[in-house]
């Protein structure tokens, strides 16, 4: 019979030749005497670490989860928006950061553009809060109130004359330039006379005067389709026809600018 260590004897099962019969382990007196010297081993439990799901991480501790953080490297304590990106200083609170604000002192409540400047909705150079004609077409040059500029044409004629004299050329050129800058205007040209002569001849003369001005403007580059010439005769005098000075003022051209 082979020697079996008492330690092995305490844990081994010896099977008989007949597999159906199991022999209980035999504990020798020597094995029992050795058990009393075996002390239980203390087992130290590892600390339990809480597992954080990746989708709940906020690595830069800015209050925005990593999965939604568009600016993942902001510093702790910095003010960020809902995307985790640094909120820039906006002193006048117009929605445009100070670094990009071209009009940094915009009055509270005013709508501003991407530059932080007050809106000019019709793009005429006058901001909305000062624009008295808010829907001005770009076909017009505007004044300080955002309204289309106007012009007058001061043309007078010698008695019984309708030709354009040299002293009228400069006035017509300036008026033509104004019309080129304000292409939205249609122009009605009215010709007048003094009260000398018959009403019929004065009506014909006034029409020739209006036609002369129209032809001159066309020569200076104004489209004929924008111009209408009408002779008015002796009606609507602006001065007393009983005086020489008054009659000179009545032999005139007036224009209406139609938008």
Query: What burial class does residue 41 get, using C-beta atoms within 10 Å of its C-beta: 0-12 exposed, 13-18 middle, 19+ buried?
Result: exposed
pLDDT of residue 10 exceeding 70, the answer is no
pLDDT of residue 234 exceeding 60, the answer is yes
Task: Specify if 219 maps to a domain.
Answer: yes
Q: So what's the pLDDT on residue 113?
A: 75
Q: What are phi and psi of 249, to 5 degrees?
A: -70, -30
Task: Specify if 237 maps to a domain.
Answer: yes
| Structural domains counted in the chain | 2
- Say whether 225 sits in a helix, a strand or coil: helix
Task: Specify if 103 maps to a domain.
Answer: no
* Length, in residues, of the chain: 259
Instruction: Tell which wins on pLDDT, 73 or 227.
Output: 227
Q: What is the mean pLDDT of the chain?
A: 80
Task: Specify if 29 maps to a domain.
Answer: yes
* Average pLDDT of the residues in 93-119: 74
Could you tell me the residue range of the domain that residue 19 belongs to?
Answer: 6-35
pLDDT tier at 257, thresholds 50, 70, 90: very high
Choice among 32-36, 93-97, 111-115, 200-204 with the minimum mean pLDDT? 32-36
Q: So what's the pLDDT on residue 102?
A: 67
Task: Specify if 45 maps to a domain.
Answer: no
User: DSSP for 118-130?
Assistant: BP-TT-SSS-GGG
Q: What are phi and psi of 225, to 5 degrees?
A: -65, -15
Q: What are phi and psi of 14, to 5 degrees?
A: -100, 120
Q: What are phi and psi of 54, to 5 degrees?
A: -55, -35
Choice among 49-53, 54-58, 92-96 with the minimum mean pLDDT? 49-53
**Through-space distance between the first and last CA atoms of the chain, rounded to whole angstroms:** 129
pLDDT of residue 52 exceeding 70, the answer is no
Task: Specify if 119 maps to a domain.
Answer: no
Q: So what's the pLDDT on residue 32?
A: 56
pLDDT of residue 249 exceeding 50, the answer is yes
0.75 exceeded by pTM: no
Q: What CATH number did the domain enclosing 251 receive? A: 3.30.1330.60
CB distance 83 to 69 below 8 Å: yes
Task: Specify if 120 maps to a domain.
Answer: no
Instruction: Tell which wins on pLDDT, 51 or 230.
Output: 230
pLDDT winner (highest mean) among 26-35, 102-111, 126-135: 126-135
Task: Specify if 86 maps to a domain.
Answer: no
Instruction: Say what the alpha-carbon torsion angle 131, 137, 138, 142 is, to the nearest 10 degrees.
Output: -40
Give the whole-angstrom CA distance, residue 70 versus residue 85: 6
Residue found under tokens 């400047």: 117
């Amino acid at each position: 019979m082979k020697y079996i260590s008492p330690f092995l004897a305490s844990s081994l099962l010896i099977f008989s030749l007949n597999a159906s019969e199991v022999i209980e382990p035999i504990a020798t007196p020597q094995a029992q005497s050795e058990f009393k010297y075996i002390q239980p081993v203390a087992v130290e439990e590892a600390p339990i670490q809480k597992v954080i799901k990746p989708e709940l991480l906020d690595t830069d501790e800015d209050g925005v989860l990593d999965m939604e953080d568009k600016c993942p490297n902001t510093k702790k304590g910095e003010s960020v928006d809902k995307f985790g990106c640094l909120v820039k200083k906006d002193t006048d609170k117009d929605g445009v950061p100070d670094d990009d604000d071209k009009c940094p002192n915009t009055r509270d409540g005013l709508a501003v553009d991407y530059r932080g400047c007050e809106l000019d909705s019709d793009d005429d150079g006058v901001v909305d809060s000062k624009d008295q004609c808010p829907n001005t077409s770009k076909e017009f040059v505007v004044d300080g109130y955002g309204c289309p500029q106007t012009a007058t044409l001061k043309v007078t004629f010698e008695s019984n004359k309708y030709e354009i004299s040299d002293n009228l050329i400069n006035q017509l050129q300036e008026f033509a330039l104004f019309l080129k800058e304000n292409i939205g205007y249609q122009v009605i040209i009215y010709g007048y006379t003094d009260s000398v002569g018959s009403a019929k001849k004065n009506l014909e003369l006034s029409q020739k005067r209006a036609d002369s001005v129209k032809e001159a403007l066309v020569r200076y580059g104004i489209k004929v389709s924008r111009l209408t010439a009408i002779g008015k005769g002796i009606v609507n005098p602006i001065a007393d026809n009983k005086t020489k000075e008054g009659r000179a003022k009545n032999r005139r051209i007036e224009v209406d600018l139609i938008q």
